[in-house]
Amino acid sequence: MKFPAFAYARPATVEEAVTLLASDDEARPLAGGQTLLPILALRMSMPSCLVDLNDLEELKSITVGDGVVRVGAMVTHAQNLASAEHRTHLPLLSAAVRHVAHEAIRTRGTIGGSLAHADAAAEMPLVVTALEATMVIVNQQGERRVAASDFFGGHFTTAIEAGELLTAIEFPISDHRWAFEEVARRPGDFALVMAAAGLKLNNGACESARITLGSVADRPLRATEAETFLVGKSVTAGVAAEAAQIATQDLKSHGDIHASAEYRRTVAGTMVKRALTRAAMEQSA
């Protein structure tokens, strides 16, 4: 369908954008529009005004310093995919963003829009959870920071309040080796199941592990019990399989037209096992 009518503003600064949002409860930020515009076309939402963020150059850069990679909210998926900084410092982000939609969608879709939308089947929420990133949120009063673990409140729900903008995501540079696994029906489709594994090994033994599952619950899940299980062990195929079992045994996933709950739980185990095995190989390479 055609979009419903809306007023339109294209602010030149974040301050102006926040003022516009604060002055109208029904106004919405427009980032890449690759989710918001389909929602309008399907008439699932009818905002009074779209505040277009595309002129906010200050939100479009990737900077590295002090052990942190700061990614502006308006950095596109295509920019993240092409980023040499990410391949060096955030290989998990580089690996996962390849799975986000298709090239034509990645041209405009942004990391900020993806996180603000918080689709449980989207890759970026999983990545910020796995890498323990911090979201930088701005409102008329100033800036506040929210840890990824506190950011997602369930399906399509985040810590961003009305009148606020997500301006950047800060990723601490991790010394773990990462691997990402996903099953989707076609390349570019949303994940049916995905997992990220990070390992820090010391003389072959696991010093620290991070396992994150996506598209199996209303938000990304850390498998903390499996992470603890791995510490001190050598990550052989058998140990990876055991960790995968622990990570998924209590999983109460959801079934939908694409996959049953049982399928999701089984495949989640396989994703964790593969991701751990690959992360362990990365380490020795």
Residues engaged in binding ligand FAD (CB under 6 A): 28-36, 38, 53, 73, 100-101, 105, 109-110, 112-114, 116-117, 122-124, 160, 165-166, 188-190
Strand pairing report for 177-183 and 134-139? unpaired
Q: Which residues of 67-87 are buried (b: 16+ CB within 10 A; e: fewer)?
A: eebbbbbbbbbbbbbebeebe
Report the distance separating Cα 13 and Cα 20, nearest Å.
11
Q: Which is nearer to ligand FAD, 113 or 198 (CB)?
A: 113
Single out the residue of 192, 186, 190, 231 nearest to residue 208, CA to CA.
231
Residues of this chain that bind another protein (CB under 8 A) = 1-11, 20, 33-34, 37-38, 41-42, 49-50, 52, 54, 78, 101-105, 107-108, 186-188
The site partner of 150 among ligand FAD, another protein, none (C-beta below 5 to 8 Å per kind) is: none
Q: Kindly give the interhelix angle for 261-284 and 237-248, rounded to the nearest 10 degrees.
A: 140
Confirm if 148 and 169 have CB atoms less than 8 A apart.
Answer: no
Strand pairing report for 27-30 and 49-52? parallel
Confirm if 38 and 45 have CB atoms less than 8 A apart.
Answer: no
Smallest distance, Å, CB 20 to another protein?
A: 6
Q: Which is nearer to another protein, 37 or 159 (CB)?
A: 37
The site partner of 116 among ligand FAD, another protein, none (C-beta below 5 to 8 Å per kind) is: ligand FAD
The site partner of 147 among another protein, ligand FAD, none (C-beta below 5 to 8 Å per kind) is: none
Q: Which is nearer to another protein, 13 or 202 (CB)?
A: 13
Q: Which is nearer to another protein, 100 or 272 (CB)?
A: 100
Smallest distance, Å, CB 51 to ligand FAD?
A: 8
Q: Which is nearer to ligand FAD, 116 or 197 (CB)?
A: 116
Single out the residue of 75, 139, 161, 58 nearest to residue 110, CA to CA.
75
The site partner of 52 among ligand FAD, another protein, none (C-beta below 5 to 8 Å per kind) is: another protein
Report the distance separating Cα 105 and Cα 260, nearest Å.
28
Q: Which is nearer to another protein, 41 or 231 (CB)?
A: 41
Smallest distance, Å, CB 35 to another protein?
A: 9
Smallest distance, Å, CB 128 to ligand FAD?
A: 12
Smallest distance, Å, CB 135 to ligand FAD?
A: 9
Q: How far is CA 54 from CA 2, 51, 164, in A?
A: 22, 9, 16
Smallest distance, Å, CB 14 to ligand FAD?
A: 9
Q: Which is nearer to ligand FAD, 69 or 126 (CB)?
A: 126
Smallest distance, Å, CB 125 to ligand FAD?
A: 8
